[in-house]
Structure 1
Amino acid sequence: DRPTVAMLGEMFPADPMMIGQMLAPLGLAAGPVVPCREWRELYAALDSSVVAAIHPFYTASVREFEAAGRPIVGSAPVGRDGTATWLANIGGAYGCSAEQIAAAQNAVLPAITSALAATPILGTVTLSGYEGSELLVARLLIESGANVPYVGTACPRTPWNADDQAWLEARDVKVQFRASLEDDCAAMEAVRPDLAIGTTPVVQKAKEMGIPGLYFTNLISARPLMGVAGAGSLATVINAAIGNKDRMHAMRAFFEGVGMGDTAGVWEGTPNVREDFRAQNVKKLERQAKAAKAAEMI
């Protein structure tokens, strides 16, 4: 019968249990995860006095909770700093005492610190995606020892990821909201990291350059991030990918000369590239663009 904290965002299956354990010293429990499957779960979420916007891009859901008078707490219990701040903010929103907040922090922070130290990540990583957890993953990577100069997310800046943005920027991380593919590729090409984490075209571009790459959606966002379980969850896959850098260089050298673009593949002779046809097609596209612009002005 303890008061609950509703959690807003898609989560790893073990995360609600982990969060519930961290909330217990505050006299609180983890409530339903929204979006939910049944109406009864939504009503149960509205019974919570505080909402944790762990994925801050569900702005429509946030508006509904705000209309119901529920305060919203941003960020998430990720890494040592993130967990300490999140517990303090949740406790403050519920009016918990300083002693309760300190007890909750002391119950989990030493284990997180030990887990981060036991599984260090050494290398430079650029990170991009569209899941909404990119800033949280970047925080976890940095606390694990990685150098993360760039984080791009397709999601917008909101009041509930402002703390994550400030934490990252204080560590010289370039945070790009509403990032385009061009933004992500430009950052990766400029930094030339030991590992590029991103969407399919970003990873494809990285591998063409001989840089190891990991798909954010398949290999990163599907792992636990919260609490002690999250502290060591990324190191194995990240370090293994970084360790493949020499193999990527060898593969790139092996395929050197097979060509790109018009010359991709194996040719018995030189491809017949018709620049005159290309020029005609460019002019055709320009005329279509001008016609469309003129139509907009009518």
Structure 2
Amino acid sequence: GLAAGPVVPTREWRELYAALDCTVAAAIHPFYVASFREFEAAGRPIVGSAPVGYEGTAAWLENIGRAANVSSELIDATKNRILPAIRGALSAMPIKGRITMSGYEGSELLVARLLVESGADVRYVGTACPRTPYSETDREWLEAKGVHIQYRASLEQDCAAMEEFQPDLAIGTTPVVQKAKELTIPALYFTNLISARPLMGPAGAGSLAQVVNAAIGNKTRFDEMKEFFGDVGSGYRAGVWEDVPQDKPEFREHYKRHIAKLNRARKAEEMV
């Protein structure tokens, strides 16, 4: 299931897929665990990762070719046709800046690989997905580049990573983006602005650079707004009021105790 972005249908791509003859499952999206079980039950090999970036595409073509017993000549011909275009696109649209990223789409590690190959300093990737054998090649590649991978990431972990690494850009879910902007860190919503873009092949190379670089370049605007507005409307004073609200810390403590009580009751029910 090639579901992480469009691939340019060159002649070598088509010949390679024809040679596969539906004998290999290309596992791109980690949510397809049930499908993987069916392929395994049918005796079909599964190849993880995706043709993303220069190194990712080269490795994926090799793995697909070996799994399907495709000739090395055809694999090399495909690589020679595709890889130079990817390298050229990556070098023409570099990304400079430190980035933390989180999401729940399932393509987080693939996006991170493309960002790293584009030149970005990616420090953290949080994904809602569990760790599976099908994303191991991506995990190993990213960790070798110094990227911390957090599977089953919580909102608290995503925000903590952002505060620790102080990125030039935070890519994440809505609450992560909101928290980033409160800290005057430029941010992009992963689902709408990142995961919807092409990732694979020459079409994917350089596809993230324009939106990412534009967002990083907005840092001075955030600083100017923060300096102008100060702390107005933050915390318990957020919103539009006729009078400035008064802080009520006792209410927060009461609510905190109430939540803790509910959690204890829930755990007690689970043990029964």
TM-score by length of 1: 0.84
Structure 2 residues without counterparts, runs of 5 or longer: none
Indicate the SS of the match to 2:133: coil
Contact 1:20/1:30 (CA < 8 Å) preserved in 2?
no
Indicate the SS of the match to 2:22: coil
Indicate the SS of the match to 1:29: helix
Indicate the SS of the match to 1:126: strand
75, 80, 83: which one pairs with 1:109?
83
107, 119, 128: which one pairs with 1:154?
128
Give how far 1:254 is off: 1.9
Contact 1:57/1:155 (CA < 8 Å) preserved in 2?
yes
Question: Which shows bigger deviation, 95-104 or 261-270?
Answer: 261-270
Closer/same/farther in 2, CA of residues 243 and 269 from structure 1, 3 Å limit: same
Indicate the SS of the match to 1:83: helix
3, 14, 38: which one pairs with 1:24?
14
Closer/same/farther in 2, CA of residues 283 and 248 from structure 1, 3 Å limit: closer
Q: Verify: 1:191 aligned to 2:184, yes or no.
A: no
Contact 2:12/2:77 (CA < 8 Å) preserved in 1?
no
Q: Which residue of 1 aligns with 2:58?
A: 84
Q: Which residue of 1 aligns with 2:245?
A: 271
Aligned residues: 272
Q: Which residue of 2 aligns with 1:37?
A: none
Closer/same/farther in 2, CA of residues 250 and 289 from structure 1, 3 Å limit: same
Give how far 1:25 is off: 4.7
Contact 1:84/1:109 (CA < 8 Å) preserved in 2?
yes
Contact 2:19/2:70 (CA < 8 Å) preserved in 1?
no
Q: How does 1:53-68 map to 2 (within 5 A)?
A: 53-68=27-42
Q: Distance in 2 between matches of 1:278 and 1:147?
A: 38
Closer/same/farther in 2, CA of residues 149 and 30 from structure 1, 3 Å limit: farther
Q: Distance in 1 between matches of 2:186 and 2:54?
A: 28
Q: Which residue of 2 aligns with 1:132?
A: 106
Contact 2:186/2:218 (CA < 8 Å) preserved in 1?
yes
74, 88, 96: which one pairs with 1:122?
96
Q: Which residue of 2 aligns with 1:36?
A: none
Amino acid at match of 1:29: A
Deviations, residues 40-92 of structure 1 (Å, cap 9, x unaligned): xxxxxxx7111100112310111111111111110000000000000001110
Give how far 1:268 is off: 6.2
Indicate the SS of the match to 1:161: helix
Q: Verify: 1:167 aligned to 2:141, yes or no.
A: yes
Percent of aligned pairs sharing the same letter: 62
Closer/same/farther in 2, CA of residues 285 and 158 from structure 1, 3 Å limit: closer
Q: Which residue of 2 aligns with 1:35?
A: none
Q: Which residue of 2 aligns with 1:251?
A: 225
Closer/same/farther in 2, CA of residues 224 and 294 from structure 1, 3 Å limit: closer
TM-score by length of 2: 0.91
Indicate the SS of the match to 1:205: helix
Q: Distance in 2 between matches of 1:287 and 1:77?
A: 49
For the pair shown, which has the larger CA radius of gyration, 1 or 2?
1
Deviations, residues 180-204 of structure 1 (Å, cap 9, x unaligned): 1111111111111111111111111
Contact 1:54/1:75 (CA < 8 Å) preserved in 2?
yes
Structure 1 residues without counterparts, runs of 5 or longer: 1-7, 32-46
Contact 1:258/1:265 (CA < 8 Å) preserved in 2?
no
Closer/same/farther in 2, CA of residues 207 and 95 from structure 1, 3 Å limit: same
Q: Which residue of 2 aligns with 1:180?
A: 154
Aligned CA-pair RMSD: 2.2
Which structure would you say has the larger RCO, counting Cα contacts within 8 Å and 6 or more residues apart? 2
